[in-house]
Structure 1
Amino acid sequence: MEEQLFEDLTDRHKEDKKAVDLSELFYDLVFVYAISQISHTILYTENGDIPLLNFIKYFMMTLVFYTVWSYQTTYTNRFGLIRAKDIFFLLFNMFIAIFLAISLKGEMNAVFDPINICVAILFFSTSLQFFLALKDKILPHDRFAAKLFGINMLISAALALTAIFVSGPLMYVFFIAAILTASLLPMPFRKRIQLSGVNVPHLSERYSLLIIIMFGEAIIGLTKIFDIKHLHFSYPILFMTIISLFGAYWLKSNRLIQQENYSSGLTMTIAHFLMIIGLGMLNASLVLNAKEPVEDSFKIQLMHAAFAFFYAGMILTLQYSHEKFTSDRTLRIIIPVILIISFIIAYITRHMAYTLTITGAVTTTLIFFIYLYIYKKKHPDIQKED
């Protein structure tokens, strides 16, 4: 069949599941490198803790890459096909993202302009993709979403570009405004966006792959701790912390998610950003706990903040779960209670050896078994349908 530059996409909502294409996985490769670079920003300590500026840089640069990745993924989910123009934009954005990732190595003041140029190009490129989608034959609600996302990205690109031509605090104001505009402007239109819903199984799979990349960073963090010449009993305990977090996420993503569902996707986007932030902080917490002279109270705050971000994201995704599971409020109550109790115990015993290692593993393992219990015992009817 001859490839068409513009296609009839009016029946896209009839797809039960949209397959993840190999080109999307290829696009993810640059983000593997970027995430590894971003994670390093919170591995440096001063006076027993991490400087606030490093936290801000970690948060903002994670948000930059996550926003770029999410908009490209959202476009592909709604309008993307295996056709020349879509592949071209995907590879072009990947090329620019490489330079953006490289820019993370330098001091913020020295690389600020290159970062803004890359962000502006990526936002403009993504905006153009949404505007070109208007040439396809699409439903009115999809047309509204394409216009909204296209205009949003264009405004964000203009703000990022403006940041290059101003100086002093204003350049940071415009940069932050560009990122926040891209991230937050669609929120007031959530109900209308939902009418142009994303294919949830496809989006869930894409975000799951990004989370797996973050778990990979956590595993790499463990390799900086483990020493084959000096084996220690804490090694399997640290490994259990990572495995328990992954196990809970696996149960949520592969067993409890509703497979035939269209929605705005905004909550899923926010939820996975929180999880990515949490996993990055967890990686820093584990490495700093083993390698750096960090204040005991700060280590406890960092690890439990990481847990709070990760599990908050997990709880937010409950709305995409199986219809028999979304009404279950157990996790919304019991997980915060467990985290609070864990924090109190860890803080009281903070001067004891391996307090953080043990409390972290016990907390994550307990929450994993709660997920497992709900899946296997409390809702056996879901299990029978798998």
Structure 2
Amino acid sequence: MKAIVAKRVSMLELFYDLIFVYAISRITAMIHYPAAGGLPVLPYLEFAIVVIIVMQIWLYQALYINRFGESRLVDNIGLLISMYAMTYLANNINTEWSTTFRTFNTAVLLIVANLIWQYLCGSGSNPLQDRGVRAFTITLSLEFIAVLAGLVIGYRYGIYLCVLGGLIGFLMPLTIYRQFVPDKVNFPHLVERLSLIIIITFGEMLVNVTRYFTGTLVNPLALAIFAFVAALFGTYIIQSELLINHHQQTRGFVLMYSHVFTVVALLSMTAGLDYLTISAVSQTFLWVFLSVGLIAYYICLYFNGVYNRRGRLGKSDYCWLALILVVGISVAFAWRRSDLGIVCGLALASLGQCGYLLFKIVPRK
């Protein structure tokens, strides 16, 4: 097998990602306002759907650049068009879907049409002879038709077609994944791109928790939150940078889909940390909400173990990691009557995960 040379992430790709910093902050705001002691199911479901729609748009653009991008005119114009439309889309993310329905989905329509154009014009002289390009084009065309039909029908019933379009774009590749050839994917570039979207999501978390860092430098709650967030990020670094074999031929489907749900988990925990000082929020709900987010985060993270270097982690290691997680969450439950107790328990779980992974990867004399 020939050596895999990592494709460099261009400055324009990084510029394009900047709008997703704003989009992620807008998405997080969707679940920042709990009601009746917790968060109703419907607003959370709407939040998850918007994450999926935004992330599948980002993934299609990233995959095009990964497979075919060479900083040509078609690549650069395509990125700029997507960024322009994405700015409108991000500005219309909120919980009142009826008021932003037309602008939001018109932006989706423009982005999807632009992606179809990029795949057809930037992937070679006979694009539809490539099975992967053909699969991408069919999937995006179905999404385009569903969203367009939804816009024509109007909000009352059209919203369901628009959501269906987003779900088609997200889920259909799973049903035709054999159409995608592994050696077309530059895996190191894909890992780097996905890591960047996680860094952006962690940035949103850090921005939201800064309000706890006031007064004296020795603030127990601030220290516990910082330890929690730092350990979460530490485990991500260890898994994505030190355990994964970056130089392999793979479709990368597990990596991509796990990262979508990692974003959902991280933004959920971001909102949960924001609930700490809201007295109307039930402490039991807060414990459940943060704990489920934490469990989901580590499940997504360790699913990526399928890409690890051989022999780095075994079944017994994952059993120990699961036990550490259970112990930390149990401590948080026992101390759930206080915000500090919940955060300390969850920080213990994350620090335990990070410490165990470090113990496994650091060579011992």
Bin for the TM-score computed over the shorter chain: over 0.9
Are 2:167 and 1:212 equivalent residues in the alignment?
Answer: no
Provide the TM-score with structure 2 as the length reference: 0.93
**What is the SS of the residue equivalent to 2:180?**
helix
Are 2:8 and 1:19 equivalent residues in the alignment?
Answer: yes
- Tell me which residue corresponds to 2:233: 246
Deviates more, 1:353-362 or 1:17-26: 353-362
Closer, same or farther in 2 for the Cα pair 1:152/1:96, shift >3 Å? same
Are 2:286 and 1:299 equivalent residues in the alignment?
Answer: yes
Task: Look up the equivalent residue of 1:67 and give its one-letter code.
Answer: Q
What is the CA RMSD across the aligned residues, in angstroms? 2.2
**What is the SS of the residue equivalent to 1:263?**
coil
Are 2:351 and 1:362 equivalent residues in the alignment?
Answer: no
Are 2:114 and 1:125 equivalent residues in the alignment?
Answer: yes
Pairwise CA distance, 1:336: 3.3
Are 2:326 and 1:340 equivalent residues in the alignment?
Answer: yes
Summarize deviations over 1:226-274 as a string: whole Å, max 9, x none: 2236962221111000100111111112211212112112111111112
Matches within 5 A, 1:25-44: 25-44=14-33
Task: Look up the equivalent residue of 2:319 and give its one-letter code.
Answer: I
Pairwise CA distance, 1:67: 0.6
- Tell me which residue corresponds to 1:115: 104
Q: Percent of counterpart pairs with the same letter?
A: 24
Q: Distance in 2 between matches of 1:33 and 1:263?
A: 31
Q: Distance in 1 between matches of 2:191 and 2:180?
A: 17
Task: Look up the equivalent residue of 2:318 and give its one-letter code.
Answer: R
**What is the SS of the residue equivalent to 2:121?**
helix
**Residue 251 of structure 2: which of 251, 258, 264 is its match?**
264
Contact map agreement 2:89 2:104 (CA 8 A) in 1: yes
Q: Distance in 1 between matches of 2:276 and 2:118?
A: 45
Deviates more, 1:287-296 or 1:164-173: 164-173
Matches within 5 A, 1:77-226: 77-105=66-94, 107-136=96-125, 143-167=130-154, 170-226=157-213
Task: Look up the equivalent residue of 1:364 and give its one-letter code.
Answer: S
- Tell me which residue corresponds to 1:7: none
Contact map agreement 1:145 1:196 (CA 8 A) in 2: no
**What is the SS of the residue equivalent to 2:342?**
helix
Provide the TM-score with structure 1 as the length reference: 0.88
Contact map agreement 1:349 1:355 (CA 8 A) in 2: yes
Deviates more, 1:278-287 or 1:351-360: 351-360
Contact map agreement 2:86 2:107 (CA 8 A) in 1: yes
Q: Distance in 2 between matches of 1:110 and 1:121?
A: 19
Q: Distance in 2 between matches of 1:275 and 1:41?
A: 17
Contact map agreement 2:127 2:134 (CA 8 A) in 1: no
Pairwise CA distance, 1:188: 2.2
Contact map agreement 1:278 1:307 (CA 8 A) in 2: yes
- Tell me which residue corresponds to 1:235: 222
Task: Look up the equivalent residue of 1:357 and give its one-letter code.
Answer: V
Deviates more, 1:107-116 or 1:284-293: 284-293
Summarize deviations over 1:328-352 as a string: whole Å, max 9, x none: 2245333333333333343344225
Contact map agreement 1:37 1:104 (CA 8 A) in 2: yes
**Residue 274 of structure 1: which of 246, 251, 261 is its match?**
261
Contact map agreement 1:225 1:290 (CA 8 A) in 2: no
Contact map agreement 1:133 1:146 (CA 8 A) in 2: no
Pairwise CA distance, 1:43: 0.9
Q: Distance in 1 between matches of 2:122 and 2:106?
A: 25
Pairwise CA distance, 1:196: 4.5
Summarize deviations over 1:18-65 as a string: whole Å, max 9, x none: 111111100000000000111111110111112222212211111111
Q: Distance in 2 between matches of 1:239 and 1:336?
A: 22
Deviates more, 1:332-341 or 1:357-366: 332-341
Pairwise CA distance, 1:308: 1.6
- Tell me which residue corresponds to 1:74: 63
Pairwise CA distance, 1:76: 0.3
Q: Distance in 2 between matches of 1:133 and 1:235?
A: 49
Q: Distance in 2 between matches of 1:106 and 1:95?
A: 22
**What is the SS of the residue equivalent to 1:72?**
helix
Closer, same or farther in 2 for the Cα pair 1:180/1:129, shift >3 Å? same
Task: Look up the equivalent residue of 1:332 and give its one-letter code.
Answer: Y
Pairwise CA distance, 1:323: 2.6
Task: Look up the equivalent residue of 1:271 and give its one-letter code.
Answer: S
Deviates more, 1:108-117 or 1:87-96: 108-117
Deviates more, 1:124-133 or 1:193-202: 193-202
Q: Distance in 2 between matches of 1:371 and 1:85?
A: 43
Contact map agreement 2:64 2:119 (CA 8 A) in 1: yes
Q: Distance in 1 between matches of 2:127 and 2:183?
A: 10
Runs (5+) with no aligned partner, structure 1 = 1-12, 381-386
- Tell me which residue corresponds to 1:9: none
Question: Aligned residues, how many?
Answer: 364
